[in-house]
Amino acid sequence: MHHLTSSVLLCFTLLLASISAAPSKGPGKSYKIQRHAVGSGPKGGVMVLEQAYRRRNWTPPEGFSAAVVFHEDVVANPVHSGTKEDVAARGGGPNTGTVTAKAYGTNTEYLCPVKIGEQTFNMDLDTGSADFWVFNTALPAFNQTGHDAIYNPSDSKSFHSTPGAWFDLSYGDNSSTSGVVGTDTVQIGTITVMGQAVELPSTVSSQFSGDTHSDGIVGLGFSQSGNSIRPSPMPTFFENAAPKLKKNVFTASLKAGSPGQYEFGTVDDSAYQAPIAYTAVNSFGGLWQFDLSQYAVGVDTYGGVVSPAIADTGSSLLMLDPAIVDNYYAQVPTSTDDKQGKIFSCDTALPDFSFGIGSTMATIPGSLLNYAPVPGTSDCYGGIQSNLGNGLNVLGDIMFASQFVVFDAGALKIGFAPHA
């Protein structure tokens, strides 16, 4: 979720509702956030893989930490060297709001301004979590350094503490994000949720403290089983907004090389190549989890597979079962497996990878699976890496670059179709 170079993208929002945390029924609305990338650059694949391990609380393989240290200290690919740019917002009309977002790296993290009370922050929209937390004044001073904005509850007239509520998120680097909880008015574009639960960490994992671009997370998972607030979970921003939407659904249309958008409340039939292949979602863990029914590497299909997977906008890579990874790279003759993960000669033509949605296959072109160059070499880092046998296949932004994805919370299903 974190990035080594900077680029900028625009988010334009068409937002037609003002919604409270306990809204009454009303006419259905929809809104969209359009994105436009105006710059990109290479990222360190080993750093992105380390962050993926931490995000899922997975222990890295032996020797991996040394590769990370080498990348940080010897390769010296700067984490925060890029210059932030603001781009003039386009669009107009009485029902059009604008949201300027910044992208750091290519096909990784997309940050959109989120207004909490009277303050605005750059935050991640994340389908792989169900928590809403923000860097704030309760954190040690060194954790606040480098952020353009730090949330101060005392500066918000609409903030209310939630007595007895707390949260604790653990990560694979043996540190955590934890703290207290309050509520505040939250606005994304021109859609407003009053009384949104906001988690206020007093400690943060190094996974997050090292990324001064992102000021926090807007989780789009399922709060009842995925939200970390105790003693009782509290709804996500999307769950609070859902009653006023046309449908309890949102979509991610994040096509590679083109402006992308999230849309809430409807499915834009012009954004994909019909039909959409749907499969049931298991929301027990708070994630958009479904079963892979089969997979293919190039023209070779591997059937009889029932393996859980998630669609995660907060991750960059495809983190797959070891057997799947081995079968994929068996068709990449220049591939090697060193301590930093799967790499191959950059001039290698990669095979497509397809994953099964019931009887339908969704295909990710091989051209999208060359993730980034390995600094100082002629090798490139693979967009497919191992989940280390942890039993969960993570389909990150590389997948979204090839697939229009429908998150249907009303029917508890998820759908995939090629971009239009």
Known catalytic residues are: 126, 312
Q: Which uninterrupted H or E stretch holds 337?
A: strand 336-338
Question: Position 82: which residue type?
Answer: G
CB atoms within 10 A of CB 418: 14
Angle among Cα 253, 1, 218 to the nearest 5 degrees reads: 65
For 382, the token pair is: 């693979």
Token look-up 């989940």 returns 387
- Residues 6 or more apart whose CB falls under 8 angstroms from that of 1 comprise 51, 55, 108, 109, 124, 126, 207, 211, 214, 314, 315, 316
Q: Structure tokens of 287?
A: 């994630």
From 100, 75, 87, 83, select the one nearest 6 (Cα to Cα): 83
Q: CA 263 to CA 265: how far, in whole Å?
A: 7
The two structure tokens encoding residue 20: 């409270």
User: How far, in Å, CA of 109 to CA of 124, rounded?
Assistant: 7
Nearest to 198 by CA among 185, 187, 210: 185
Q: What's the token pair of residue 349? A: 């033509």
Q: Which amino acid is at 205?
A: S
Half-sphere exposure of 102 (CA within 13 A, CB side): 21
Beta strands in 173-316 (DSSP E): 176-188, 191-203, 216-219, 229-230, 249-253, 260-264, 277-280, 289-292, 295-297, 300-302, 307-311
